[in-house]
Structure 1
Amino acid sequence: MPDWVTDAIWWQVHPLSFTGAEPAALPPGELRHRLPHLQRWLDHLLALGCNGLALGPVFASGTHGYDTVDHFRVDPRLGDDADLDALLAAAHERGVRVLLDGVFNHVGRDHPAFRAVVEQGRDAPTADWFRLHWPPDWTPGTAPGADVFEGHDLLVELDHSSPAVVDLVTRVMTHWLDRGADGWRLDAAYAVPPSFWARVLPAVRARHPQAYVVGEVIHGDYPRLVAEGGLDAVTQYELWQAVWHGIAERNLFELAWSLQRHAGFLRSFVPWTFVGNHDVTRIASQLPDVRHLPHALAVLFTVGGTPAVWSGDEHAFRGVKEHRAGGDDAVRPPFPADPSGLSPLGAPTFALHRELVGLRRRHRWLHTAAPGQVHVANEQLVYAVAGDGQRLLVALNLADAAVRVPAPGAGAVLAGAATVGRGRDGRGGVELPAHGWAVLTG
């Protein structure tokens, strides 16, 4: 993993929705310069304490960005190459790294490679890019059957055993790293054979050894996928699920179990950690009790991982993901022209993010710190993290009453609220208020 990732904390954005772009591609020849909108938010990112901008798709597509039609062209709804170059330059001037979103599992049906297949049939030079099923009576201008991504007919899957696809993805990744990008998120990496990444990434890393590559993986054997694919990390959906669901259901045994799993993952790689992103219901909407939002954030910023904040979560935006056409709209709203347009109602949540990001920055060893369980009950959890000769304790209480929980070695309260003392047995413990939490020296 590149050295700089140790200190990376990402602010994740879906550019098309963030900038209020049209829901479908513009007519040929039209152009909108919307990427400067994002430049006006770079100082907000820094004020939050982040130093990385993780962009969703910025390449030409038919609709939401994940139906790519040209990997080498900026989507005209966002601007052109000069606009992306300017965003990269403005970010780098501020010390902000930029991650691009690579949609390499599938393409949109309007991609020239697939259009060539429709027009020319088996003789198309790109026919081996796809897994095709030819009807016996095929005629030019008729699309053959093709494997598609998770039932989405508009997303035609690439054939990752094809040398031409290996070459395409290698060229795309290298091209944009050459232009100044700092790394890639590999969309739907769970649907791509790890052997494909093992063929692509050595050539990419030979030219850009400091590029960071994280794969989107939901289920499966995370360490194996990282090792066999040669990735730096994968998305830690197991922990995301346990954080929101364990807190929402007041079942911290679920979270405690996932933290043990997370500690195991940290022995082989450092996962991408999050409590929200562009594909899931916002954390403020996942939790039935708003008083428990700090608990979720305390976990995110105190366990090992490379944390990412989904844009808007730092202001307690709400939005529910729905499994229908347009079901992402509520979690991907357009943003004001600049941060001055944000409601002041989100200021306390922004301040909480800043507090916890600041704590993490003062303890940079947390990047690889594995959590160890100290105490667990349905509504209480205490865990420890250690590194660089230091130790922190994190104590969570979801109950409607104050509680005392074991916390051996607990010292000063660094964030949240707690009273530290010894119980009748002489052992260290902390008292947490109802719905309280705390991070303490240990």
Structure 2
Amino acid sequence: MEGSLVGKWYENAVFYHMYPIGMTGAPRRNEGGETVHRFQDLMKWLPHIKELGCTAIYIGPLFESTSHGYDTKDYRMVDRRLGDNRDFKGFVEKAHEMNIRIVVDGVFNHTGREFFAFQDIQKNREQSQYCGWYKGINFGWNSPYNDGFGYEAWRNCFELVNLNLREPKVREYLLDVIGFWIHEFDIDGIRLDCADCLEFSFMEEMRRFTNEKKADFWLMGEVIHGDYSRYVKPEMLNSVTNYELHKGLYSGHNDHNYFEIAHTIRREFDENGGIYKGLRLYSFVDNHDVDRIASKLNVPEHIFTVYTLLFTLPGIPSIYYGSEWGIQGRKEGGNDDPLRPAVDIEEALLHPDNPQLLKWVTLLGRIHSQEPALADGRYQELLLTNRQYAFARILGEEGIVVAVNNDDRPAELCIREPLSGKSWASLIDGREPELQDGSLRVTLAPGESQIYKLK
């Protein structure tokens, strides 16, 4: 990849999140049978992803599985509903030609019931050499599937059998799988499913292993609750999912309470005492497990300021496929399918649900790529009310000021100037705010965002 092996590519990345089984319209059940080559459909998304300013793709799950992708059958085989290994290799090569990195799902906390080790236990019971591969195997119990033995399942979903990551042979097997995906496909990173369930020592071993394979390999963990700094450290993971900020981004708008968002950022990243200061957490407004942002907001127009904050607050921003033009989707009980619809990318771009949002997200992606302060700059809060919020990202002598208004009426703001300069200008429309007594005086329309740069 041209110019991509210098420095840590992931620190200033913008991610695009693809859930391939859903977006290609693949069957929700894998009944075996013939391989269907759907990567040509996924390939059509790459120019759009590049146009958005995204520099990396998180795609998955990809392992051969029984249903939703997280009930793995074969770790060395691309799911036949999507294509074969050669198809995926071509997808990665094309993405790399476009200077886009590829990160895949690593589903290492559990397997499906059709995985070879579990099937061997079903067949050979106490004599199986794989009894130690899973947690809680007990031949005095029974499972809901009437296996004649019990086992530990992820959140009592018994189609997902928890692996025993304290078993050396399981670790050896999974590290060999990771090496296979790096060697065979040249992937650039792994998003660890259920990282908050994994053994810390296993993640540390994974870090050492991947460092030897690829110096800039990115490890990101799905962590919902708890102390993110327990995971993000040089000897373990590069990043985790920032669910705390995700919650604030939508509820802070729905409640007209920018204090929630600002408090989260102050707690996490403030230059004086932020508990995650210096860490690069993975930011998102929706994904394949939570309702679409367009369906969560009480005021649809707030989606513009939500995305402004996603791209300008500290963190590695990501876009979930289709949300850049406002796709709707809510869970239906335990059914996640509404969050993972099939999309014809060519038709969607001809007739996007919200063309103005698509333009806005594209503009934000361009600004993020052109302004290093948005990735590397320190955070400084400048103004805060329930309905208005302004902050700076400062990198050396470079400064960016972001201001947002979630009110239904115009707001006149007096924003403390974080750096003294001749003038500031909007990266959105070129307008220059009035400077008076060390403050930027601006008027924001209802739902308006502005991003100013020191000239």
**Normalising by the residue count of structure 1, what TM-score does the alignment of the two structures yield?**
0.93
Match of 1:118 among 115, 122, 135: 122
- Which letter maps to 1:208? K
Find out whether 1:93 has 2:97 as its counterpart: yes
Shift of 1:125: 1.6
Find out whether 1:161 has 2:166 as its counterpart: yes
Distance 1:225 1:396, change over 3 A: same
Unaligned runs of 5+ in 2: 1-5, 418-422
CA contact (8 A) 1:402 1:434 kept: yes
- Superposed, 1:12-411 pairs within 5 Å as 12-27=17-32, 29-136=33-140, 142-179=147-184, 180-227=186-233, 230-263=236-269, 264=274, 266-324=276-334, 327-336=335-344, 338=346, 342-409=350-417, 411=424
Q: Residues of 2 paired with 1:255 and 1:137: CA distance?
A: 48
The aligned length equals 437
CA contact (8 A) 1:265 1:271 kept: no
Shift of 1:386: 0.8
Shift of 1:49: 1.4
Q: Deviations over 1:53-84 (max 9, x none)?
A: 21011110010001111111111111111111
CA contact (8 A) 1:61 1:75 kept: yes
Q: Residues of 1 paired with 2:331 and 2:250: CA distance?
A: 14
1:420 maps to: 433
Match of 1:8 among 8, 13, 17: 13
Q: Which moved more, 1:223-232 or 1:281-290?
A: 223-232
Shift of 1:200: 2.4
Unaligned runs of 5+ in 1: none
Q: Which moved more, 1:12-21 or 1:187-196?
A: 187-196
Q: Residues of 2 paired with 1:320 and 1:412: CA distance?
A: 39
Shift of 1:369: 2.7
Shift of 1:91: 1.1
CA contact (8 A) 1:251 1:379 kept: yes
Distance 1:127 1:406, change over 3 A: same
Q: Which moved more, 1:331-340 or 1:253-262?
A: 331-340
2:449 maps to: 437
Q: Residues of 2 paired with 1:436 and 1:200: CA distance?
A: 44
Q: Residues of 2 paired with 1:95 and 1:382: CA distance?
A: 33
CA contact (8 A) 2:425 2:431 kept: no
CA contact (8 A) 2:139 2:148 kept: no
Shift of 1:126: 1.4
- Which letter maps to 1:260? R
Tell me how large the CA RMSD over aligned residues is: 2.2
Q: Residues of 1 paired with 2:252 and 2:180: CA distance?
A: 42
Q: Residues of 1 paired with 2:276 and 2:344: CA distance?
A: 38
Shift of 1:148: 0.8
Shift of 1:265: 5.1
Shift of 1:98: 0.8
**Normalising by the residue count of structure 2, what TM-score does the alignment of the two structures yield?**
0.91
CA contact (8 A) 2:140 2:149 kept: no
SS at match of 1:114: helix
